[in-house]
Amino acid sequence: MDQTGPRLTFSKAEQAAAVTVGGGFTFPLPPHPNLQMVDLHGRRTRVLTTAACDVTTELMSLPEHPDPLCVYHGRGACLDVEDPFVRTVWFSNHGAHMGEYVRNVAELEGKWRQETLRSAGVGGGGRGTQPASGVYRELGTGVLPGKGRKGVSVNGRSHFMPFSRNAEMSDVLEAGLAEVCAVAAQKALEVLPVHERDLVCCDDGPAEMVGAYQYPRQLTGRPCVCSHQVVIRGADLHAADTAAQREQAWLECVSDLHTDSMDGSMGPLGCMTQYICTQHPHAQTRSPCHSFSYRDLVVYPNACGGRGVRIRVARPGWTCLVFMRTRDCLHGGVTPSTDDARGPVGLPDSVTLMRVVTYPLAAVQRLLLAATDDAASTAVVFDGSDERMRARMCATIDLL
């Protein structure tokens, strides 16, 4: 896409964002609608408005009448740059042989909400919600330093020791996540360019460490996406909420403009997020619904912005996969401008949108790379790992 024309400029250091239209005219972006959304210096984070989005992005979406038997592939790239900065894959939840996928998605969502409510505030990850993420729990492998966390020396260099994140919930949800992610990987492999297909796989490194840190585990004979940590996200909705409370919850769960410095990557593919949009059986929902546009994801080609793409991730009955380098590309959601009078931002009650975010962690990938050249390091890592991680290493060895 052409980088001339109105463009977004973003400074993480200053927590400032503005749109430059031309002739030196700029207009700033507003702070996040949730007052809790502040950076480490207490400054309100910025969010993209529909007005700013309209002039700085191009839309990527399914055709108006997509064929449920087709898998669709999109890419966003700057002119004269070979590698796109974002890739998309759409597939129908109701295509051929997708019945088991739909059942697995429904079961996973039910278990996730049940476990999140049951264990909110328990174990690593803290609260069951985060200000701009709604219901939010980190699963699988953690690596951030903290009180009581250990380090390990490999090849003379210090590395963070990976540990189990929300261990009980991670184990409960792993089988369902593995099935859902395996389908996503298979659909991506059907349409991704040949030179990228080997990137949808696990890391290289000592087999027992790779198997322990990969979450969810790779199913035998099935493709998988390289991932160490998974976050499942959804709006923080409750049955007793009033219409106004539900609308506010949807408004506040929009993602601010940000990059993710701790994320690793699957080569040029980056990280994968899976948006699964389900319409409940027998529901009578007008389609298209304007509120789906407020679930869009916006991605810019670098950390400072530029001109990007707006991805229509929510389409009832379809799953959208987004691959991008989250540590390099500015991204976030869309919030209504003050003069935007298109109506409510929340999705209809008959529709659910579940985001399954898979993260390869850069610190884990560095450790695996270092351990590849140091055979003795595996034993050191094993001895320093928590009980669950040691069990996962042993289980991996048993499968070899």
Torsions phi, psi for 51 (to 5 deg) = -65, -45
Residue 287 confidence (pLDDT): 46
Residue 348 confidence (pLDDT): 82
Q: Are 279 and 319 in contact (CB under 8 A)?
A: no
Residue 282 confidence (pLDDT): 64
pLDDT classification of 93: cutoffs 50, 70, 90? very high
Q: Per-residue pLDDT averaged across 295-305, rounded?
A: 94
**Reduced to 3 states, what is the DSSP secondary structure of residue 10?**
strand
Cβ-Cβ contacts under 8 Å for 394 (sequence gap 6 or more) = 208
pLDDT classification of 296: cutoffs 50, 70, 90? very high
**Percent of residues, the chain, with pLDDT higher than 90:** 46
Higher pLDDT, 345 or 73: 73
**Percent of residues, the chain, with pLDDT higher than 70:** 87
Higher pLDDT, 275 or 225: 275
Residue type, 278: T
Strand-pairing partners, residue 229, are 140, 359
pLDDT classification of 121: cutoffs 50, 70, 90? very low
Q: Per-residue pLDDT averaged across 59-71, rounded?
A: 95
Please state, rounded to an integer, the average pLDDT across all residues of the chain. 85
Compute the residue count for the chain: 400
Cβ-Cβ contacts under 8 Å for 233 (sequence gap 6 or more) = 133, 134, 135, 136, 253, 354, 355, 357
Q: Per-residue pLDDT averaged across 287-315, rounded?
A: 88
Q: Per-residue pLDDT averaged across 209-228, rounded?
A: 92
Statement: residue 128 has pLDDT above 80:
no
Task: Please measure the distance between the N-terminal and C-terminal CA atoms of the chain and give it in whole angstroms.
Answer: 46
Residue 341 confidence (pLDDT): 57
Residue 303 confidence (pLDDT): 94
pLDDT classification of 235: cutoffs 50, 70, 90? confident
Residue 92 confidence (pLDDT): 96
- Give the global pTM: 0.90
pLDDT classification of 123: cutoffs 50, 70, 90? very low
CA gap 49, 308 in Å, rounded: 14
Strand-pairing partners, residue 75, are 87
pLDDT digits (tens, 9 = 90+) for 242-270: 888 888 888 888 899 999 988 887 777 88
Distance of CA 151 to the CA centre of its chain: 27
pLDDT classification of 305: cutoffs 50, 70, 90? very high
Q: Per-residue pLDDT averaged across 311-324, rounded?
A: 95
Range of weakest confidence among 10-24, 181-195, 310-324: 10-24
